[in-house]
Structure 1
Amino acid sequence: MTPTTNIREWPFRLRPPQILAIGFALVIALGTTLLALPVASETGQPVSIVDALFTATSATCVTGLNTVDTPTTFSLFGEIVIVLLIQTGGLGFLTLSTMVALLLGKRITLKERLLMQEALNQLTVEGVVRLTKYVLTFTFICEGLGALLLGLRFSRDIPLGQAFYFGIFHAVSAFCNAGFSLFSANLMDYRGDLLVNLVITTLIILGGLGFSVVADIYTKRSWQRLSLHSKVVLTTTFWLIVLGTILFMALEYTNPLSLAPLPLNEKLLASYFQAVTPRTAGFNTLNIGALRPVTLFLLIILMFIGASPGSTGGGIKTSTFTTIAVAVWSIIQGKYDIEIFGRRLPRGMVLKALAVAAVSMMLVVTVTGVLLITEQKEMEIVLFETVSAFGTVGLSAGLTPQLTVAGKLLITATMYSGRVGPLTLAFAIAQRLGRQGIKHYPEEGVIIG
């Protein structure tokens, strides 16, 4: 019996997945209330409750989709609320509460360690407090350096104080894979700026690797000594970025509305940026609505895969994708064991990966179908927006600002599901998992294929 099934002291007998789901919902509710206040509006007229809910969910779920223009709609107070929601959603409210407890010298109990295990997506409870310390230290170092570099660059275009405020906002938004920008054109005006592009993409990649991978690299410092999980994440991330860059450039090279007018160096930089940002970040240096349908399909695939477990990003995760790919390849080769990097994957882990992908696919298909009815838009645009919401990416092909109230609420629910995790959410809303029966029925096969 696992520790989580034997604990009787959970508040209201809630399990860790339920606590995570409710916690995110409470943070969203608080954010909605604050963003709906007149003081959060640039004009003094409060935004609608639906738009406040949408923005709070998008920020907390580190997505970046917007029904309103952030810099022209929200005041300084509203923008600060948004960046705090991004930080809370990116790190997780449990990580931040653990930080407060550690600063106060409070002892972290077993219940809290079990919650941290669930929040950080770890296999065991061992070392979760130490990992939390790594998470906080690494996050603030990355965001601090990113804010400094971006602030210095932005100071060439806007006043110094505002430049560093913009630097902090964009560094937090990038590391947490949120994609919120204080520029109405997002980062399109910095398409050819090497510093801005490299700082933003580096923060996105570091935030999307997963904190356990970063801690593993820091402690092991050798490829041979890295865990299997770290090797899978790093290898998958590398190839997704490389292949994504090559394919994006090939598909858009002659598109007069995107890459065609740009010099070669800007073509390469923009292609690299747009290969990184679908990994749940949401920034863009090109007009996404002007991309070719086949390019949108490429971005949909990248968005659906997403970042890595235990990171600030969403999607089904890189390790899930690779596990399924390796399993399929093993079956094609006629192998019973599923092997990668000289290790054999447990079959239960493969089944979990298939479950995550299947539940995610069903969610995307269902939401897309409903949005096709409510929004009356083209299939590729609706699918793109749905996957962007599910993967907590934030890229938009132009549909989000035009959503009906029903569409806004549906995308809001999709962002929440994508951040909490389809499988975790399914467990969270279940009443109680029944005990595994002691009866075993006779085995019989079915015809496959």
Structure 2
Amino acid sequence: MARPSKTAAIDYAAAHDLTHGLLERAICPPDRPFVLVKDADKKGLRLRVTKAGGKHWQFETRMKGKLITRALGEWPAVSIADAKAEAHRLRGLTETGIDPRELEHQQQAAQAAEKAAAAAHAVTVGEVWAIYLEARRPRWGERHYSEHLLLVKAGGVPSKRAAGGVTAPGILHPLMALPLRDLTTPVIEAWAEREAQTRPAAARLAWRCLKAFLSWCAEQKEYAPVLAGVNPAKTKKARESLGKAGVKEDALLKEQLPAWFDAVRQLQNPMIAAYLQTLLLTGARAGEVLGLRWEDINIKWRGLTIRDKVEGTRVIPLTPYVWHLLAALPRRNDFVFSSLTAAGGCIAIPRNPHHDACAVAGIDGLTVHGLRRSFKSLTEWLEIPAGVVAQIMGHKPSATAEKHYTVRPLDLLRVHHERIEAWILEQAGIVFDAKAEPGKLRAVN
């Protein structure tokens, strides 16, 4: 048979011995969207030529009655020899019952898994910690979230209050630069032993947070392969190094009330004096009282809405003396215990002023949180029902009857709470007319 002329028209219905010249001459007629130049050697291989001049390799065959088409690349970037070789490989797969598409999907999945494993193997504790915080934030309160940020802060920020003039790094910050794979049991045990020497209480809290973090990591498919299978923070040695928290017993005695009130009321800052007295007389947590806003005070029904860290909010009675203290404060922003200089708009927990007041009163070791403990302890003198005190303080009910059957409205709580306040003031030697009208709220520019 004579060789076809290099200038002869190409019969696109027939198969051809593919050559460079043949493919160069292949063009799509104007009346068709595309034409196929079929290979006579490798069944299913063809070059798709479009009206726009594009030339792309294709392999086409049928498998179990279904048409399979695979793109092999553009000519001449993919040569005739390479296209034939790939067509030969695909033909071999289909003839043995292997779908090349499924094979590619499996290979891609394996590559993606390998890439993810490599990324997880190189990821640092700090990077995963940030992801952990964002994942858990919807289920946490803002304070709990902020405390986790403080655990890993870098420090080094200028501060007049900090030792050395700059803030110290967070207790977990030294671990953040480590690859997650290197956060092993020996590393955590060494950290626990080191931190227990200087700040054991803070280290115990950080250790609990670290255990929760690593438990979360073990539940994530990206990070579980990096961990050894057992939470590396759950070790006996770390627990022994950190020790057990001692039972705190700092609380005001009944006999100490006159001296404590006298010293606190003489503090130069009336905002701090009112804050400390409110803490004692409500039994609320230090942060809960700091978060009080003017909108939380219900004058009509004499209620005080507390932003509870456990239940969200709780309403307690607005007792006469506490309302007397709050009404006398200037209204400078939304916060009751406001500050014009603090970034958050309210004062910080006044631990140093309280310590100074206790020193004047001759009371040793009484912390700000000890005022909450004092409220609970002092109610024992009055034999107030335990459920009433727990509800005022925001403690969860401890019995089935309390949890499901006892409902105490605000007016019933007020009967007991006003009795508690009156008794504490009486023991402190403070003369106060509970029926006197509190001072009006003053707006301060």
What's the TM-score once normalised by structure 1's chain length? 0.20
Q: For the pair shown, which has the larger CA radius of gyration, 1 or 2?
A: 2
Please state which structure has a larger fraction of its residues in helix: 1
Please state which structure has a larger fraction of its residues in strand: 2
What's the TM-score once normalised by structure 2's chain length? 0.20
